[in-house]
Amino acid sequence: MSRIAKTQTAVTVVRQDGKIVIQINCPISFSLPFTIANLKFLAVFLRLLFKLSGEKVLTLQQTADVLGYKDRRDVDNYCREFIRKGCDLAALLSRKVQLLQYVALIESFVLQNLLLPLNVMHQKFTAQHRVKISYPTFCKYVGQLDASSVVRQAQKLLWNKMSGGDTINLLRILADQHNVPVICDQLLEYAKAFGPKQKQANTASFPLNMQRRNLCLLVHYLMGKGMNQSTIAMLLNTSRATVSNLWHEIGDLQSIILNSIAKWSGKISIDEKFIRIRGVPFYIITIVDFVTGIPLYLNLFKNTRKESYEACFRAFHLIYKKAPTLIVSDGSQSLAAGRKAAFPNVPHQLCKFHKIRNLFKKISNSKIAWEEKIKLKAKVVKVFRRDSVSGRKKGLRELRSLVPKPAAEYIDCNVLKHWKQLCKGLTSNVSERFNRKIEKVMSGRYGLKSEQTALNLALSLWVTVLIDKGKPFLHEQSLIASLNISRMCQENVDWTHLDHLFSKRTGKAA
């Protein structure tokens, strides 16, 4: 080796024309953990190595072979991405840097659409700006927004519609943000401080509003009873358009209902009801008091995914300020995921009615005699009606050897496997009963034309149930508790038109 070679350094680093030039004059080896990011780095690093002649040390194919890629285009894509990002390794290896340009856009979009659910925000944002960003990443960036901006915008909305239906939607969205519980509490305290005073001032300034509001609630009560607007117009001796205006006039009906409820048992049952609006599937998710059967919360959702149930649970928690002591539901996996996200420590029981019904279907679809099917179904009911927990479990194990194979597998996988959630033998009949009322009210229409119409019908039914059966659980001074439906009917119904209700011409109207 020459004297000059011995005095040369192993590595030289020189800054030249805004670049960092590295020259390696001896063999070097180093090791890195096996990660995707490190492979990405090595693909670029190996392609940046040059011989003294200026030729690259490795070709694209040789680099791909060394790193274990099947196609040289994988390496080429990394190199092209490196060039697109200004030859900055930090930008290449960090996915966050790629989306930083959208942070300001996301903040502006969220503040303008604060009342939208997060999943709808994500869909509209990606469509409007034509950017590929996943839902979890979008939620992550939303969680990093300036809280003061969100509070100011929320306070502005609450001030404009302090007692409106949008307030409940706003609180539901804010409740879905896991990292801002303090903001939610501040907003609630703000609403408590200013909301009731503003209501009293309005009532005192406009005494006729109460009479008008009572008339609106009477229309809601009759709609909840299943009457259509034409029949109600005939009874009130007014036009159908007037009835429609009265029905839509109260914009804060959901808030009025929620502010009226004073007591609940602590145990809840949750279920959903499928409806169609202009042919599009929608769902009304309802939370009902498991003991009293009084609806505690309901809202309209576009799907029954985990996010919908979680939003429903979080809105309920935010409104009633405490977690339930027991949740009863069916075995829906998305419902279970939403429940665990909102109330991970609350005991849960599955509905035995759904298990019996599913067992009946398995038995009915089996290839056995009809008489045998009847006997097996009777045994299923008898087993689930046993008084003791051990007796029911023992009966199910015995029943497993008697029923056809599909039913036996269902007992193993869907009943005994989840016995801890079935040991109390509870049913969600209270939710089912309210769902049947929703179906009756909705099916009597000639077609639901809008989401607001469907939600109004559900709220009308809710008002009807509270007026008929919910007075022991309402605030005594609340608007709904103080209603006297009998007197309101005497004062507003034109009894001369009552005989037309049973005539051949209008017999089907009601």
- Residue 155 neighbours by CB distance under 10 Å: 15
CA 434/CA 243 separation, integer angstroms: 25
Per residue of the chain (510 residues), what is the pLDDT tens digit? 444 444 456 666 667 777 766 667 667 777 778 777 788 888 888 888 887 777 888 888 888 888 888 888 888 888 888 888 788 777 777 655 455 667 778 888 888 887 777 888 888 888 888 887 888 888 888 877 777 777 777 766 665 544 344 444 544 445 444 444 444 454 445 444 444 444 343 333 333 356 788 888 889 998 888 888 888 888 888 898 998 888 988 888 888 899 899 999 999 999 899 988 888 889 999 999 988 989 999 999 999 999 999 989 998 998 898 899 999 888 888 998 999 999 999 988 887 777 777 888 888 888 888 888 888 888 888 887 887 878 887 888 888 888 888 888 888 887 777 777 667 666 667 778 888 888 888 875 556 888 888 999 999 999 999 998 988 999 888 888 888 888 887 777 766 655 555 554 444 444
Give CA–CA dist 473/134, Å, rounded.
44
pTM of the model: 0.55
Helix axes of 229-236 and 240-249: crossing angle, nearest 10 degrees:
100
3-state helix, strand, coil in the chain (%, to 5): 60, 10, 30
Segments of the chain assigned to CATH 3.30.420.10: 264-349+428-448
Find, among 399, 428, 433, the residue nearest to 416 by Cα. 399
CA distance 246 to 218: 9
C-alpha closest to that of 479 among 272, 250, 290: 250
Return d(Cα 227, Cα 211) in angstroms, integer. Answer: 22
* Location of structure tokens 């300036």: 146
Q: Which residues contact 434 (CB under 8 A, 6 or more apart)?
A: 271, 286, 288, 293, 295, 465
In whole angstroms, what is the distance from residue 201 CA to residue 249 CA? Answer: 19
| Rounded CA separation 169/248 (Å) | 18
What number of CA atoms fall less than 13 Å from residue 398's CA on the CB side?
12
Task: Identify the CATH class of 264-349+428-448.
Answer: alpha beta
Q: In angstroms, what CA-CA distances link 14 with 20, 26, 165?
A: 6, 17, 67
Q: What distance in Å separates the CA atoms of residue 267 and residue 337, rounded to the nearest whole number? A: 19
Task: Report the amino acid identity of residue 316.
Answer: F
